[in-house]
Amino acid sequence: MGEKDRILSEEDAYALDRGTVAAILDAVAAGDAGEIERLTEPLHPADIADLLEQIHGDDRKALLRLWRSGVDGEILTEISEGVRGEVIEHLEPDVLADAVRDLDSDDVVDLVEDLRPEQRDAILGALDEGGRMVVRQSLSYPEDSAGRLMQREVVRAPVHWTVGDVIDRLRAETDLPEQFYHVVLVDPRMRPQGYVALGRIMSAPRRTKLTDITEDSFRAIPVDQPREDVAYAFNQYHLITAPVVDGSGRLVGVVTIEDAMNVLDEENEKDLLRLAGLGGESVSDRTWRIARRRFPWLLVNLATAVLASLVIFQFEEAISRFVALAVLMPIVASMGGNAGTQSLTVAVRALATRDLTAANLLRVVRREALAGLLNGLAFAAIMGIVGLVWFGVPMLGVVIAAAMVVNLLVAALAGILIPVALERAGVDPALASGAFVTTVTDVVGFFAFLGLAVAVLP
């Protein structure tokens, strides 16, 4: 079996093969730089980035020491932020200079914006004066804005040119971006007026005016527009490229589909982690950092658990008389929590994609309430029978059935209304909703179940 075949795991077609990773680590342990070169040569930069993230820090340091010329700019852009700074620290200045010199400006900005000042200076020092000026100007724009996301290398043409004019210019140009999809048409004041896809340029007669074959999807992005809005525009309007303009409407850069999709991926990952009360963690983070990030949200969960316990404490006497209540309580709370999480996940995702708006909020709330009610009735019937058969007390089955209906209905409503309310209050719903929804379902579930039990059971 060849090396390229070994890269692909039988369990996951795009995961690093464990045998390849083990072989590389063996070569590192043996100090065999030639074997490291042979094993890594067929790997894609993204696979090498995964390798650097997955191995232990000491192995990573040893690998980088032996594989002196192996890390290039593409690999650096693929490595997660938590590991990237450590990798840069271990690279020699000349290797780092070669790695970043051929990157587009947006990739360099992405590399340096989260690094320590000395690491940032090392990368900027590897660029020529023009490159440093471009990167520093991009860093002057607000964080998480289109100005930070865009690349400054733009292929543009005067609005009055023909297809022949632009083809001749492209053929004569020696410093084109490595990848581009459109030629942006600009007026004499450098204001974008449209763009033309390369496919149309190549298929049109030379005398065709560029303005006759422009794309209908053309949209200009303000340089200070939030990157989430930029990504939404790409997804909503199926954009491939979008020119970026300053406050005067002048062309200053371009955002590509690759940049926008990276933002969507990052936002989806952040939302997923925040729903669990986590920050920007990765498997390569150190233990102390992980513990420190998780502690605040575990403390919040402790506070909500204490609140739910206080509700239980109010019914201490009833629980002591009916041990069955203590047995069945976790079922009610667990079902409510799971139902709330389901609605919450749908709501947070819909808010992020802007599918949940003021126009359809009432309809979505009605739908979730009805779904919660139907599930509540279904599980009420199941648990009512379980309570009757298990403990032989008919009214106990009635109590848990009623509590199940109440809690699943409330859970469905809380899962929708809480993230909507938090977003309107300016709080990230992905970050804070989970604790609130859990508190509501626990408190309501315990109160409904125990309160009904006190009122109904002898």
pLDDT greater than 80 at residue 396: yes
pLDDT at 345: 83
> 52 pLDDT exceeds 60?
yes
Q: From CA 277, how far away is CA 337, in angstroms rounded? A: 15
What local confidence, expressed as pLDDT, does residue 109 receive?
82
Question: What percent of the chain is predicted at pLDDT more than 90?
Answer: 23
Query: In whole numbers, what is the pLDDT of the chain averaged over residues?
Result: 84
State the pLDDT at residue 283.
Answer: 57
Q: Does 24 have pLDDT greater than 70?
A: yes
* Candidate CATH numbers 3.30.1360.70, 1.25.60.10, 3.40.50.2020, 2.60.40.10; the one for domain 3-149: 1.25.60.10
| Rounded Cα–Cα distance for residues 134 and 147 (Å) | 11
pLDDT at 199 over 50: yes
Q: Is residue 65 predicted with pLDDT exceeding 60?
A: yes
Phi, psi of 248 (to 5 degrees): -95, 5
Question: Which of 11-20, 60-69, 87-96, 281-290 bottoms out in mean pLDDT, i.e. has the lowest?
Answer: 281-290
Question: Is the per-residue pLDDT at 458 higher than 70?
Answer: no
Instruction: With a cut of 60, say whether residue 8 has pLDDT above it.
Output: no
Q: Does the structure show a pLDDT above 60 at 234?
A: yes
> Measured on CA atoms in the order 51, 56, 262, 154, is the torsion positive or negative?
negative
pLDDT over 70 (residue 206): yes
Compute how many other C-beta atoms are within 10 angstroms of the C-beta atom of residue 207: 9
CATH 3.10.580.10 fits 156-275, yes or no: yes
Q: Does the domain formed by 287-456 have CATH 1.10.357.20?
A: yes
pLDDT band, residue 222 (cuts 50/70/90): very high
Question: pLDDT at residue 284 above 80?
Answer: no
- Virtual torsion, Cα 68, 69, 73, 75, nearest 10 deg: -70
Report d(CA 327, CA 343) in Å as an integer.
Answer: 27
Question: pLDDT band for position 370 (50/70/90)?
Answer: very high
First to last CA, the chain: 75
Encode the chain in three state secondary structure: CCHHHHHECCCCCCCECHHHHHHHHHHHHHCCHHHHHHHHCCCCHHHHHHHHHHCCHHHHHHHHHHCCCCCCHHHHHHCCHHHHHHHHHHCCHHHHHHHHHCCCHHHHHHHHCCCCHHHHHHHHHCCCHHHHHHHHHHHCCCCCEHHHHCECCCCEEECCCEHHHHHHHHHHCCCCCCCCCEEEEECCCCCEEEEEEHHHHHHCCCCCEHHHHCCCCCCCEECCCEHHHHHHHHHHHCCCEEEEECCCCCEEEEEEHHHHHHHHHHHHHHHHHHHCCCCCCCCCCCHHHHHHHHHHHHHHHHHHHHHHHHHHHCCHHHHHHCHHHHHHHHHHHHHHHHHHHHHHHHHHHHHHCCCCCCCCHHHHHHHHHHHHHHHHHHHHHHHHHHHHHHHCCHHHHHHHHHHHHHHHHHHHHHHHHHHHHHHHCCCCHHHHHHHHHHHHHHHHHHHHHHHHHHHHCC
Longest dimension (CA), the chain: 94
Domain borders along the chain are 3-149, 156-275, 287-456
Res 445 pLDDT > 50: yes
Which pLDDT band, with edges at 50, 70 and 90, does 344 fall under?
A: confident
